[in-house]
Structure 1
């Protein structure tokens, strides 16, 4: 959580793939109407975003066409000098 609060992609919501049950209740309403859902990890090499994206589709009913995995993660986002938001939005 501290890593997320230190910097994340603007508009992102925290959802730890290992503790989904803690985060999903607040995300479910957003998933149903989302045009695009971008899933990413803090680092560049991480399979957690793939596992979470799969769960969002098969367990939570997210539209598979709306799911995008940003494979480079937050590391690639920072390296590209793209905007970063700080603080917590869960």
Structure 2
């Protein structure tokens, strides 16, 4: 929660991969109408985004709409992309 509040990709919805049960219904509700769902984590050695993709697939989100941003948060910030600091939950 602290990392998300400190900054995230604009429009991102927080879902802790270690507490999926607490978030998955809200995440599915937001993502089911989306053309694309892009999952990211810190990047580098972090594999939380891969884990989260599996959870979304198991919850019924179609595989054709899920993408992993492998560069993650670290790459996003290094490239000077926009950052949102307000929480969306």
- After TM superposition, the score normalised by the length of structure 2 is 0.92
SS of the equivalent of 2:35 reads coil
Q: Which residue of 1 aligns with 2:64?
A: 65
In the alignment, structure 1 residue 41 sits paired with structure 2 residue 41:
yes
Q: Are the counterparts in 1 of residues 43 and 70 from structure 2 also a CA contact under 8 Å?
A: no
Moved over 3 A (4+): none
Partners of 1:49 and 1:10 in 2: how far apart? 17
- The alignment's C-alpha RMSD in Å is 1.1
Query: Deviation of residue 28 (structure 1)?
Result: 1.9
- After TM superposition, the score normalised by the length of structure 1 is 0.91
Partners of 1:2 and 1:44 in 2: how far apart? 20
In structure 1, the gaps of 5 or more residues are: none
Q: Which residue of 2 aligns with 1:26?
A: 26
Q: Are the counterparts in 2 of residues 45 and 72 from structure 1 also a CA contact under 8 Å?
A: no
